[in-house]
Amino acid sequence: MNVFGIGLPEMGLIVVIALLVFGPKKLPEIGRSLGKTLKGFQEASKEFESEFKREAQSIEETVKMQARLEPEETVSATKVETE
């Protein structure tokens, strides 16, 4: 198990130090608030990712449509020039 580059022994040491510093009564409260914060970051990250994908898809569709229109404009321009 490796989270943020921290292995299981390091996690255990952090928990023991946190228990000594904050005490057993405050630790669950700190864990809950940390969990809520991480969940908020994950939701924001997912929202950003979906918005980014939506915008990328929109740009891709615009480019494809422009690519379809350019050959038609070229053909009509050459017809005008030849006449």
DSSP for 21-83?
A: HH-TTTHHHHHHHHHHHHHHHHHHHHHHHHHHHHHHHHHHHHHHHHHHHHHHHHHHHHHHHH-
Residue 64 pLDDT more than 80? yes
* Residues of the domain holding 33: 8-82
Predicted confidence band of residue 18 (pLDDT cuts 50, 70, 90): confident
What's the confidence (pLDDT) of residue 69? Answer: 78
Q: What's the first-to-final CA gap in the chain, in angstroms?
A: 74
What's the confidence (pLDDT) of residue 14? Answer: 87
41 found inside a domain:
yes
pTM (2 d.p.): 0.51
Predicted confidence band of residue 44 (pLDDT cuts 50, 70, 90): very high
pLDDT in tens, 68-79: 877 766 555 555
55 found inside a domain:
yes
* Total domains present in the chain: 1
Q: Left, alpha or beta for 2 (phi > 0: left; psi -120 to 50: alpha)?
A: beta
**Farthest-apart Cα atoms in the chain, separation:** 90
